[in-house]
Amino acid sequence: MKRPGLRWILLLVAGLWGLFLLVGGYNISATSGHFHGVPEVLEFTMRNSVHWRASEEPPGNLGDPALIRRGAGAFEDGCRLCHAMPGHAINPISAAMVPPPPPIEDAIRDWTASELFLLVRDGIKMTGMPAWPAPERDDEVWAVVAFLLAVPELETRDYERLVRPEINRGVLDEPGLSAIRSDILVRCSACHGNHGEDTGQGAFPLLNMLHPDYLEASLLAYRDGTRPSGIMAPQVANLGNRELRLLAEHFGNTLAATATPDTRDPPDAGNDEYHRARQLVETGDAKQRIPACSACHHPAGYPQSDRFPHLEGQPRAYIRQQLELFRAGHRGGSAFAPLMTLAAKYLSDDDIEALARYYGKAPDPAASASSR
């Protein structure tokens, strides 16, 4: 007599399993937990998967206070909900997730910087741990990693100071502001100051030196996904056109094109880097196919548009970052952004450094120290 083949046995098992699923036999409820031993297997799988796939070299500036400050802002708005702030237990709603998110001190334990980068960029399938919403923005993910590496030294009080610098609540009583929802304004101010001013840390772009039309176009670009940022896009995702216009008017400066004071650091006139920057700004480099920056950006060069941002006095790191993003084709922006992508395409690393120094301001060491 012929015995049933292995094929038939497998088919029978698959059929029974299918029937089990069909009649709702598997309990997906988060209250029922996993079968015995399953969490250990999943944890083992996750650890090995991350360990063997983490290959990105960490950049050299992970200890930079401005980067940590930016990462802290991202954590406050995008991670705290689940992982709690340093020194706190996670809230009962997050604790009821399966698996529950670990408090942040535990979440970072035993991972290297490259592994944390991979976890934050790619998330963890089927756990509630999301991937970074802007996959082009490795720089933002590194900012979060810079913050995570600083967590062991942070008391709750330091954290509070980091993410919520003194906000002058009086800003809410200013005339004309009633039109903007106060919770939105307070949120923006946590990173950009009450009026988009220079906080001295160099972690965020200044807004009060930019024209409202440019700010409005930028906010629309973040919201509509044409300017990828995992930090800014969530801030404006649910805001309407009118709210964005009001915010642009609140933070921006209509006199930006004529009256912005030059707040750059005094140039190291005489050195080669400065000469190269001036060449690019004033005449460009036709051989390298780089146009003169001042053809569009202040100073000199007309006609200019209120949609071409001012650069003088922005944090150096911000200018450097934006130029790198434009060169890589990842910056995006308003309908005018392709002009800038073309202008940045052939810049060398040295050019970018020279231009960041020419236009930009170095962070104030005192402000950076007090933010820690």
Residue from 59, 102, 133, 299 in contact with ligand HEC (CB under 6 A): 102
Would you give the binding string for ligand HEC spanning residues 314-353, x where CB under 6 A is met? Answer: -----x--xx---------xx-xx-xx--x----------
Return the amino acid letter for 46: M
Angle at 227 (CA atoms; ends 232, 202), nearest 5 degrees:
50
Shortest approach of ligand HEC to residue 39 CB, angstroms?
8
Which amino acid, one-letter code, is at 278?
R
59 binds ligand HEC (CB under 6 A): no
| Of residues 15 and 174, the one with the C-beta less far from ligand HEC | 174
CB contact burial 45-73 (16+ within 10 A = b; e otherwise): ebeeebeeebebeeeeebebbbbbbbbbb
Of the candidates 62, 67, 162, 236, which one interacts with ligand HEC according to CB under 6 A? 236
CB contact at 8 A, 111 and 136: no
**Site residues (CB under 6 A) for ligand HEC, limited to 77-96:** 77-79, 81-83
- State yes or no: residue 180 binds ligand HEC (CB under 6 A): no
For residues 257 and 297, is the Cβ–Cβ distance under 8 A? no
Residue 303's contacts (CB-CB under 8 Å, 6 or more residues apart) are none
Query: Are the C-beta atoms of residues 360 and 323 closer than 8 Å to each other?
Result: no
CA dihedral 67, 70, 73, 74 (to 10 degrees): -90
Min dist. Cβ of residue 247 to ligand HEC (A):
4
Binding residues for ligand HEC, per CB under 6 A? 46, 70, 73-75, 77-79, 81-83, 97, 99, 101-102, 107-108, 116, 119-120, 124, 127-130, 144, 148, 184, 187-188, 190-192, 204-205, 207, 210, 215, 217-219, 229, 231-232, 235-236, 247, 251, 280, 290-291, 293, 295-297, 307-309, 311, 319, 322-323, 333-334, 336-337, 339-340, 343, 355
